[in-house]
Amino acid sequence: MALIVQKYGGTSVGDLDRIKGVAQRIKRYTDLGNQVVVVVSAMSGETNRLIGLGTELAAGVPDAQEMDVLTSSGEQVAIALLSIALGNEGVPAKSMLAEQLGIHTDSSFGKARIEKIDLGPLKELLGSGTVPVVAGFQGVDDNGRRTTLGRGGSDTSAVALAAVLQADECEICTDVDGVYTADPRLVDSARRMSHVTFEEMLELASLGSKVLHARSVEFAGRYQVPLRVVSTFDEGPGTLITTEGQSMEQPLVSGIAHARDEAKVTISGVPDIPGIASSILGPVSEAGIEVDMIVQNTGVDGLTDFTFTVKRGDYDQAMVLLESVRQEIKAEGMTGDNEIAKVSIVGVGMRSHAGVATKMFDCLARENINIQMISTSEIKISIVVAERYMELAVRALHEEFELDKV
């Protein structure tokens, strides 16, 4: 008998027929003698609908506390419906909200972090043969106020529960049958990986892979929770995400990620003096704009160029903000480009192999793709290219590193 935490996303519970299918899937697990804890997201599209309602009604920026109460209501509907469906299948189940279960967080509304989970209610239900159906994405702070964990929060809820329960496995049940070497919508020969390391998955998630959210992967890696991505709708082994050393020889490159949602800003003729990077990026950070890749050129005659990337949705705000910064630091000029994309190769095999970057750059050169920026870590290389070349770059690199082969 195994203890398994299963998380079902919005697509998996998108309508009543799918909820019935999920209930039948859970029953197959319990019929085998497994203990199952279920974490559920809101039905597909519901969170966005609720955000739209709150935003439309508010005069300006909606109150963060009230938005958490509003947006977390979608999960309440989903867990009640799934509990009813499980009852129809003869599976004892009980829906659990964050305050009923005891998922304690800080008070960072909209992006709260889990601090503690009470095991008592969960163990009591499991001991009685009841399936806990837990609302993902939500918690409660010390004042008893409802909080939400931010986008992808249901994945984090599931991993956190698996960690405290010391579950045998945490399944992320979604509309794809695993993690692929590249987006199969772009690359016909993309292959489902049987396993991938936490480190690689964290990089892929951070770099644009939409299968898992980076925060949940980081959590799973920290607490060594075996994580498996499987399809809700099709039987199969999915992709196991676990520690390094599962195979004799790690592949050079495991996967390719891409992100269209990128823009870059270049401030030219910047005084090449200590603290200038802080002067530029400080106001950007204070405005809540996340910066990704950063390049500062070698100074010439006391001046340098400073380039960095932001999310495309933050581009206009960043340009307005940085114009005043440019004047303040007496930089010569500023340009921007919101038609770029990021392409990344990831693989723990890079640690023990030289020449990966050269192979990547030679491949792109043969395709006449110009590289605008480069960023590297121990197990990944990211480049920025013009958006119109992104799909070509992904396909060419997938073939170059032979990711279609087992």
Q: 125, 142, 175 — which closes off a domain?
A: 175
pLDDT surpassing 50 at residue 248: no
Is position 22 within any domain?
Answer: yes
Positions of E strands within 272-353: 291-296, 303-311, 333-346
Residue 304 main-chain phi, psi, to 5 deg? -145, 170
To which H or E segment does residue 232 belong? Answer: none
Positions of E strands within 211-283: 227-231, 239-242, 255-271
The CATH number given to whatever domain includes residue 267 is 3.30.2130.10
Shared-domain flag, residues 17 and 126:
yes
Shared-domain flag, residues 16 and 135:
yes
Give the model's pLDDT for residue 351.
Answer: 81
Shared-domain flag, residues 269 and 387:
yes
Shared-domain flag, residues 281 and 377:
yes
Is position 225 within any domain?
Answer: no
Q: 120, 154, 175 — which closes off a domain?
A: 175
pLDDT surpassing 60 at residue 295: yes
Is position 377 within any domain?
Answer: yes
Question: 326 in helix, strand or coil?
Answer: helix
pLDDT tier for residue 113 given thresholds of 50, 70 and 90: very high
Give the model's pLDDT for residue 1.
Answer: 80
pLDDT surpassing 90 at residue 366: yes
The CATH number given to whatever domain includes residue 42 is 3.40.1160.10
pLDDT surpassing 80 at residue 200: yes
Shared-domain flag, residues 169 and 279:
no
Give the model's pLDDT for residue 354.
Answer: 81
Shared-domain flag, residues 157 and 300:
no
pLDDT surpassing 70 at residue 244: no
Rounded to the nearest integer, the mean pLDDT of the chain is: 92
Give the model's pLDDT for residue 190.
Answer: 92
Is position 293 within any domain?
Answer: yes
pLDDT tier for residue 246 given thresholds of 50, 70 and 90: low
Dist CA 381 CA 391 (whole Å): 17
Is position 251 within any domain?
Answer: no
Is position 213 within any domain?
Answer: no
Is 127 buried (19+), middle (13-18) or exposed (0-12) by CB count in 10 A? exposed
Q: 175, 193, 208 — which closes off a domain?
A: 175
Dist CA 317 CA 287 (whole Å): 9
Shared-domain flag, residues 30 and 137:
yes
Is position 50 within any domain?
Answer: yes
What would the two tokens of residue 289 be?
A: 């704009």
How many domains, the chain? 2
Q: What is the pLDDT of residues 27-55, one digit of tens each?
A: 999 999 999 999 999 999 999 999 999 99
Instruction: Give the domain extent around 322.
Output: 256-400
Is position 13 within any domain?
Answer: yes
pLDDT surpassing 90 at residue 394: yes
